[in-house]
Amino acid sequence: MHARLKTIPIWLIIGLCLTFVLTSCRERPIVQLPKGEQTVTGLIRAAPLSLTRRGTHVVVRDGKEWFFAESSGVTLSQFEGQEVTLTGVFELNIDPHDLPPIDPTRVILSKGMAILSL
């Protein structure tokens, strides 16, 4: 006995392909930025260098990346691996769908050992 091969209707194949294409092409929402100066806390880590986004560092909370950080006035590398509280203004990233960077004007170690302000 030979196994009979069942043919799949062409309309089903086309329908599945269209469904895949349409559902994978959804645009990510633009990040909504909070207005004015913000104060946020998290673990600061060095971010990989990138030409397609802003941020020299990433702030992590509960094991998840929450936002980037970059500052021309505060050397963030001295706080790498530490829990910090940053005060500054959020800005749009190069791609407005990516995590936003905060430009901190004040950094406080969560242990209360260092305060840097511009």
**In which residue are the tokens 């006995």 written?**
1
Encoded tokens for 39? 């104060």
Domain boundaries, the chain: 37-117
Distance CA 5, CA 112 (A): 72
Question: Residue 89 has what pLDDT?
Answer: 94
Class of 37-117 per CATH? mainly beta
* pTM above threshold 0.75: no
pLDDT in tens, 72-118: 888 999 999 999 999 999 999 998 888 999 999 999 988 765 555 55
Question: Residue 116 has what pLDDT?
Answer: 57
pLDDT in tens, 13-62: 776 666 665 555 556 677 788 899 999 999 999 999 888 999 999 999 99
Q: Are 108 and 94 in contact (CB under 8 A)?
A: no
